[in-house]
């Protein structure tokens, strides 16, 4: 009997995949790792969300970096009776990023990172530096983690990482892909990367998987000396917050020594792991997504299950670090993110919220807007229309949709349009099947 926590963070509809849209044969699709399917889907969503059509990236200088530390489905093909070779092609973590590059027709490096919990910030660091140096125009960075087998959870339990209470974490599924660009090339900006660092300290004088406060202090000090930002300017810290007492203690005491020095007000902190569990290789991207949503909405989501401060962390006891336990209004500028890996890798990321140069244009000219869109099914088309009709008219967003859908998107079988706002009854959504 495996004595492991009964709860995990689980994604819905992991078994669904539109293989024809991505040009993958049905037989090959059935042998394709679910992680690869999810990364392909999120890559498409990231590009569309940025206001681009996938065709615009064809033959462009884009690097793809995907973090997938552990694939629990690899065992299924190692011991399968199939002799087609499809299982190897479908379950190689090294090929996840290559699938994305192949589908989009990109010209640029394409590789996998397998560096456990810190893989997200490591991927962002590599992409940021390569774009900044001019080596690449943009980057697709992402990560995926799926919890499928109880045996691996048992090993985590034996290492002392999992716990149903406050001395460990619960495991979680997670997948995210982000499209990084220079600001001058971007059509839609959520945040600016100020600086990003991830380093491995191989000379630490402690057991292999134990963190050291002194090492993180060293990294944080050099980080802020390099980027030139005063740590007192940080408005919110998204902590690694694994829930393991020793790890939290080492992390937060390092934060106290560097980020709280000369600070006059409490630093707000939280960790998305309290909301969904530890997504391992995808955990950093979950944290980035959380803080971007906070920037967009002006609200920091609450940390769950926090009841009392660790007595070994003076900054928590003295309220110099303040855990956000209820939805909190926020209009700050700088957000810092921590990551600590069991293999001795420490990382830190500083984001700055994007400030519009001009106020958002208001729809006050009385002129209706034509809105174009396309999709795979009539249901998806109606879903887009209903969302557009329900939200306030945003002419910038309509313009973004025009940039995307004015071009033919491969394998979109339906095209349509509507006129917004729909105050007049004669304005209806019109949908046409391209193949009819």
Q: Is the CB of residue 337 less than 8 Å from the CB of residue 288? A: yes
Residue 412: inside a domain: yes
Same domain, 30 and 176: yes
Position 1 confidence tier, pLDDT thresholds 50, 70, 90: low
Alpha helices by DSSP H, listed for 162-244, are 213-227
Position 386 confidence tier, pLDDT thresholds 50, 70, 90: confident
Among 183, 209, 239, which residue terminates a domain?
Answer: 183
Q: Is the pLDDT of residue 180 over 50?
A: yes
Tokens of 294: 């906070």
Q: Which of 41, 45, 58 is nearest to 188 (CA)?
A: 45
CB atoms within 10 A of CB 344: 20
Q: Is the pLDDT of residue 362 over 80?
A: no
Total domains in the fold of the chain: 3
Q: Which of 2, 3, 102 is nearest to 62 (CA)?
A: 102
Same domain, 339 and 229: yes
Rounded Cα–Cα distance for residues 149 and 131 (Å):
38
The pLDDT of 279-290, averaged and rounded, is 95
Q: Is the pLDDT of residue 348 over 50?
A: yes
Q: Is the pLDDT of residue 419 over 70?
A: yes
Place of tokens 């034996």: 158
Q: Are strands 414-420 and 369-375 parallel, antiparallel or unpaired?
A: antiparallel
The pLDDT of 303-321, averaged and rounded, is 95
Residue 69: inside a domain: yes
Rounded Cα–Cα distance for residues 289 and 296 (Å):
11
Residue 396: inside a domain: yes
Rounded Cα–Cα distance for residues 343 and 206 (Å):
11
Q: Which of 75, 81, 83 is nearest to 33 (CA)?
A: 75
User: For residue 2, what pLDDT is reported?
Assistant: 62
Same domain, 271 and 401: no
Residue 249's contacts (CB-CB under 8 Å, 6 or more residues apart) are: 310, 312, 313
The pLDDT of 189-193, averaged and rounded, is 96
Q: Is the CB of residue 275 less than 8 Å from the CB of residue 304? A: yes
CATH of the domain at 425: 3.30.70.3290
User: For residue 204, what pLDDT is reported?
Assistant: 74
Same domain, 245 and 375: no
Same domain, 124 and 215: no
User: pLDDT over 90 for what percent of the chain?
Assistant: 60
Position 349 confidence tier, pLDDT thresholds 50, 70, 90: very high
Rounded Cα–Cα distance for residues 35 and 90 (Å):
10
Q: Considering the chain, what is the average pLDDT of its residues?
A: 89
Same domain, 178 and 308: no
Rounded Cα–Cα distance for residues 57 and 409 (Å):
12
**What residue numbers bound the domain in which 296 lies?**
192-353
Same domain, 329 and 215: yes
User: For residue 425, what pLDDT is reported?
Assistant: 40
pLDDT digits (tens, 9 = 90+) for 217-251: 999 999 999 999 999 999 999 999 998 899 999 99
Position 426 confidence tier, pLDDT thresholds 50, 70, 90: very low
Q: Is the pLDDT of residue 363 over 60?
A: no
The pLDDT of 64-79, averaged and rounded, is 81
Residue 312: inside a domain: yes
Tokens of 24: 């993958």
CATH of the domain at 208: 3.40.47.10
CA dihedral 417, 420, 425, 429 (to 10 degrees): 20
The pLDDT of 308-328, averaged and rounded, is 96
Among 302, 320, 353, which residue terminates a domain?
Answer: 353
Among 157, 183, 209, which residue terminates a domain?
Answer: 183
Q: Is the pLDDT of residue 358 over 60?
A: no
Whole-structure pTM value: 0.91
């Amino acid at each position: 009997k495996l004595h492991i926590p009964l709860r995990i963070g689980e994604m819905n509809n992991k078994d669904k995949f539109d293989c024809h849209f991505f040009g993958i044969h049905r037989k090959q699709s059935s042998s394709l790792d679910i992680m690869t399917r999810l990364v392909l889907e999120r890559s498409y969503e990231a590009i569309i969300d940025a206001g681009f059509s996938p065709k615009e990236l064809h033959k462009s200088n884009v690097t793809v970096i995907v973090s997938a530390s552990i694939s629990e489905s690899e065992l299924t093909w190692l011991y399968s009776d199939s002799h087609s070779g499809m299982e190897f092609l479908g379950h190689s973590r090294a090929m996840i990023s290559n699938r994305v590059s192949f589908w989009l027709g990109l010209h640029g490096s394409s590789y996998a990172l397998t560096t456990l919990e810190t893989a997200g910030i490591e991927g962002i660091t590599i992409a940021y530096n390569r774009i900044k140096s001019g080596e690449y125009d943009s980057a697709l960075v992402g990560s995926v983690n799926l919890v499928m087998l109880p045996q691996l959870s048992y090993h985590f339990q034996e290492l002392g990482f999992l716990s149903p209470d406050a001395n460990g974490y619960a495991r979680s599924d997670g997948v995210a892909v982000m499209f990084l660009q220079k600001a001058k090339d971007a059509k839609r900006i959520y945040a600016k990367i100020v600086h990003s660092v991830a380093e491995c300290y191989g000379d630490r004088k402690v057991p292999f998987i134990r963190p050291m406060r002194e090492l993180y202090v060293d990294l944080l000090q050099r980080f802020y000396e390099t980027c030139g930002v005063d740590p007192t300017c940080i408005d919110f810290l998204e902590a690694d917050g694994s829930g393991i007492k020793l790890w939290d203690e080492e992390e937060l005491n390092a934060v106290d020594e560097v980020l709280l020095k000369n600070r006059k007000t409490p630093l707000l902190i939280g960790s998305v792991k309290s909301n969904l569990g530890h997504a391992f290789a995808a955990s950093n991207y979950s944290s980035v997504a959380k803080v971007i949503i906070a920037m967009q909405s002006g609200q920091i989501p609450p940390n769950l299950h926090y009841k009392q401060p660790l007595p070994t962390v003076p900054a928590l006891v003295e309220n110099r670090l303040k855990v956000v336990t209820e939805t909190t209004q926020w209009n700050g500028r700088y957000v810092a993110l921590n990551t600590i890996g069991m293999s001795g890798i420490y990382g830190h990321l500083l984001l700055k919220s994007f400030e519009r140069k001009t106020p958002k244009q208001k729809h006050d000219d009385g002129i209706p807007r034509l809105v174009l869109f396309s999709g795979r099914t009539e249901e998806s088309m109606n879903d887009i229309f209903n969302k557009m009709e329900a939200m306030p008219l945003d002419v910038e967003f309509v313009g973004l949709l025009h940039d995307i859908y004015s071009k033919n998107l491969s394998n979109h079988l339906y095209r349509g349009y509507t006129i917004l706002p729909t105050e007049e009854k004669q304005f209806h959504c019109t949908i046409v099947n391209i193949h009819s």
